Amino acid sequence: MDAVVDVVRRVAEHGPVVLVAASLGGLTISGVGNVIPDLVDRLVYISAWSCVRRADPIEYMQEPEFAGNLMAPLAAFNVGDPARLGVGRANYRTADPELLNALKAATMADVSDEQFRAFLNILQPDESIAVMTAPGAPSPAPTSAWPATAHCRWPCRTG
C-alpha cells in the first residue's frame, strides 16, 4: 500500500485521482483512501473486497453466506503452509478438470475455454497474508464524501 500512497502523492497535483481495484486490490485502495483521503477523488471497486462489517476477507470467509459462494469450493487450489510461506499459494496449473471448471464458472463463465486459459496465465500464484489480514474497511468519514462506483461480486461498499 505504501507504494500506491507514494504514487498518489506524486500524481495528485496533476488532476483528479481515481483508484480502481479488483479482487484483493480493493483492500489496498481502501487503505490508501484512509491514509490520504484528501488526495483521492474516487475509489472504484470491480469485483473487489471492501470490508465494511468484518475486519478482513478471512473473517468474511468464515461467514455462512460465503459457503454458498462459487469461490468457496476453490480452496482446493491452495497449496503449502501459509504460516511458513507468508503467502496464500494457489496452484492454478492443476490438471484437475473439475477444479478448473469450477474456477471458470466462478470467475469467467461467459468466455471461451481459450480465453479462460489465457486468464490463468496471468494469475499470480501467491497472495500476501498481510494483505488478506489487513484491515480492509474504508474509514466512514472521508469515504462518505466519495461518489460510489461499484460492480461487486464480494461484500463491498456501494454507497
CA atoms within 13 A on the CB side of 128: 9
The pLDDT tens digits for 37-53 are 999 999 999 988 888 88
The pLDDT tens digits for 77-134 are 999 998 899 888 999 999 999 999 999 998 899 999 999 999 999 988 998 888 777 7
CA atoms within 13 A on the CB side of 141: 5
Which segments of 55-132 are extended strands (E)? 78-79, 87-90, 126-128
Q: What is the side-by-side order of every strand in the sheet holding 87-90?
A: 78-79, 87-90, 126-128
Would strands 18-23 and 42-48 be described as parallel, antiparallel, or unpaired? parallel
The pTM of this model reads 0.69
